[in-house]
Chains A and B, each alone.
Chain A
Amino acid sequence: MIEGILIGLTTALTLQNILMVMLGCFFGTIIGMLPGLGPMTAIALMIPITYGFDPATGLILMAGVYYGAVFGGSTSSILLNAPGVPGTVATSFDGYPMAQQGKAGKALAIAAWSSFAGGTLSAIYLLFMAPSLSKVSLSFRSPDYFALMILGLTAIAAFSSKGQFLKAMMMVVLGLMLASVGQDSLSDITRFTFNNMNLTDGISFVLVVMATFAMSEALTIILKRNDPTSAAKQVSLTELGSIKIYKEERTKMYKTIPRSSVIGFLIGVLPGAGATIASFLAYGMERNIVNDEEKEKFGKGSVNGLSAPETANNAACSGSFVPMLTLGIPGSGTTAVMLGALLGFGVQPGPRLYMTNPEIFWSIIMSMYIGMVILLILNLPLIPYIARILAVPKNYLIPLILFFSITGIYVMSFNNFDIYLMIGIAVVATFMRLYDFPMPPLILAFVLGGLMEENLRRSLLLSNGSWEFLWDRALTACILLTTILIVVWHMYKTMFKKSKS
């Protein structure tokens, strides 16, 4: 492992890669601060640029964007009570009241230190957990992988749908359907191309991500007359107050951070869960643990109440890399985008990544840590100024997002059919967003579609067409049982809520 860490450090600490982390953190912070535009959009916009670099550098850039976006989301939660990303909603519960009391600087500092500590601790957990899990996952067979993908897709549908499980499952099926367009990987038979040569190679992953996130988010902003930049104009440079954290406040954070980082990391590892659930759980857990006097302060600017979700959401970000790096199965929409980008580089994530591309594996882990340091050093003092950059009018922001999306697709294929297809998918996605059809399940399904078919093919061929492979191995059966439990729990929760109302 020491050798791996050194390889990672050597790769991550090159001038180019440090520059990429800095750029990624900066760009991610800006996008993350805009309500509605989350890490997935930020990463999607970056993908075409990353193809100009080697895989390690490209991924380091994307990891920087990811952390920057989560941090940016926290900033808008604290300063404006407008969470940039769902994972930072819990941050606003105590961050915003603190800012209203004239302690915005302190709230930002607590958030930054908690993020840093949460990210650092989880990077350490990842450091130990990922290699051992990689070794364990080498024993996984096709039925286990197939079952894991079913679990991942069901879980993301259950967790991301806000009580609209069936809608999310429809999006999963749509994502898998889109992934089935083009040549079959084994027989080379074309499917669903309708004799259109442009579809023979299938639909590009970047195209689907750009259309369903960047472009459709831009169109939604126009359609709903939202102005994500208006809130940023309210930020005053002079009213932030001191960023100093007193000893008493630090003592509270010392207790909160370790427990929140553990819960955040573990939730992050679970497929589909992610930063939102982690931050809410950590907030709730912290509220139950603290004494009555401190409990009273929750929702009114509590240090523990701010530190817990901030630590947990950053720890969950690192945790979500575990299934992607060790199993090749992303646990969240954002890591699905990163997996797609990795596949674009010709790198197959999974248990063998640790051995075949150690420089990528370790440099991602190391760059996470470097990203945290950079976020702390660069972003904290620069936040008010970054917030000012966001005051760019919507009339400029939207065309620029569209421009980056279309250019991203154009430079990859030099084909205007892809531009039309992207516009078409974006229009459908915009309309579906209006009616709360979630997009992350679609992306995860699109990325996993090929792998899922491949593993189902192998499983069915080995079992001679019998579906017994689903319960032949204890591991496969356990994974499927977990999937069933998630569905049952979700149905129970929905029905319970309905009967209560």
Chain B
Amino acid sequence: MNINTTKVISLLFFIFSAFYLYTAYQIQVFAFDENAPFNARTFPIYLGYAGLFFSGLKLILPDPNTIKVNHKTLEYKKTLILIIIAIIYGTTILKVGYFLTTSLFLFSSYYFLGERRWVLMFLLSFPFVAAFMYLLHGVLDIYLRDPFLQSIGVMG
């Protein structure tokens, strides 16, 4: 059986809107605001109903412009690896510091995308990040915390 993915997304959006609407009704407002014409929950409640309305319509109405995606041609593996590298980057950046994590993020991304020109990979990671860091930190005066560079005495 073929499942129309757009309909599945619409169904997920319908469920999400229902959850949003339920949460909107749970928003605690001040007692004196409870019966006011407008309070903190009014707008979200309208949005919840709007979400249900549009996704409901999309679910019910026929879909003449069905989008067909051939999943076999999609590059899931590399995309997933890139996402994982980005998550690891996010996890380590505060502890290790901007310079090392960013350089390693770039270097590993080049590698997993199939690049093997090591010198170019190195130049476009470590020295590139150092130059960019100088631009941010030194020129634009944007503070970048870096425990690694501090531990080796490069940064004050």
Contacts and interface: CB of A to CB of B under 8 A. Distances in A.
B131 interface: no
A401 B19 CA distance: 34
A406 B29 contact: no
Contact of A224 (B51, B54, B74, B136): B74
B155 interface: no
A419 interface: yes
Interface of A is mostly: helix
A436 B86 contact: no
B109 A402 contact: yes
Interface of B is mostly: helix
A436 B44 CA distance: 26
A100 B86 CA distance: 42
Contacts of B144: 411
A247 B90 CA distance: 59
A1 interface: no
B99 to A, nearest CB: 12
A170 interface: yes
B29 A192 contact: no
Interface string B103-140: 00110011001110000100010000000100010001
B27 A191 contact: yes
Interface in A391-411: 393-396, 398-400, 402-403, 406-407, 410-411
B29 A187 contact: yes
Given A170-B54, A219-B83, A406 B90 contact: yes
B75 A411 contact: no
Interface residues of A, number: 60
Contacts of A501: 64
B64 A498 contact: yes
B141 A52 contact: yes
B37 interface: yes
A414 B94 contact: yes
A385 interface: no
Interface string B1-31: 0000110011001000100100110011110
A187 to B, nearest CB: 5
Given A173-B47, A399-B110, A410-B98, A423 B5 contact: no
Contacts of A219: 79, 82-83
A396 B47 contact: no
Given A400-B106, A403-B102, A395 B114 contact: yes
Interface bracket on B = 35 or more
B149 to A, nearest CB: 15
A457 interface: yes
Nearest to A404: B132
B37 A435 contact: no
Contacts of B67: 434-436
Contact of B47 (A166, A176, A184, A461): A176
Interface in B47-92: 47, 50-51, 54-55, 57-58, 61, 64-65, 67, 69, 73-76, 78-79, 82-83, 86-87, 89-91
Interface string A373-390: 000000000000000000
Nearest to B41: A191
A219 B71 CA distance: 15
Nearest to A466: B37
Contacts of A411: 136, 142, 144
Interface string A422-439: 010001001010111100
27 contacts: A166-B58, A169-B54, A170-B51, A170-B55, A176-B47, A177-B47, A186-B40, A187-B40, A189-B27, A192-B20, A223-B76, A224-B75, A393-B115, A395-B110, A395-B115, A402-B109, A403-B102, A403-B106, A406-B86, A416-B91, A427-B83, A434-B67, A435-B5, A435-B69, A453-B43, A457-B38, A463-B37
Interface of B: 5-6, 9-10, 13, 17, 20, 23-24, 27-30, 33, 36-44, 47, 50-51, 54-55, 57-58, 61, 64-65, 67, 69, 73-76, 78-79, 82-83, 86-87, 89-91, 93-94, 98, 102, 105-106, 109-110, 113-115, 120, 124, 132, 136, 140-142, 144-145
Interface of A: 49, 52, 163-164, 166-167, 169-170, 173-174, 176-177, 180, 184, 186-187, 189, 191-192, 219, 222-225, 393-396, 398-400, 402-403, 406-407, 410-411, 414, 416, 419-420, 423, 427, 430, 432, 434-437, 452-453, 456-457, 460-461, 463-465, 498, 501
Given A189-B29, A465-B37, 15 more contacts: A170-B51, A170-B58, A173-B17, A187-B29, A192-B23, A192-B44, A222-B82, A224-B73, A396-B124, A423-B83, A423-B86, A430-B79, A434-B67, A435-B9, A453-B43
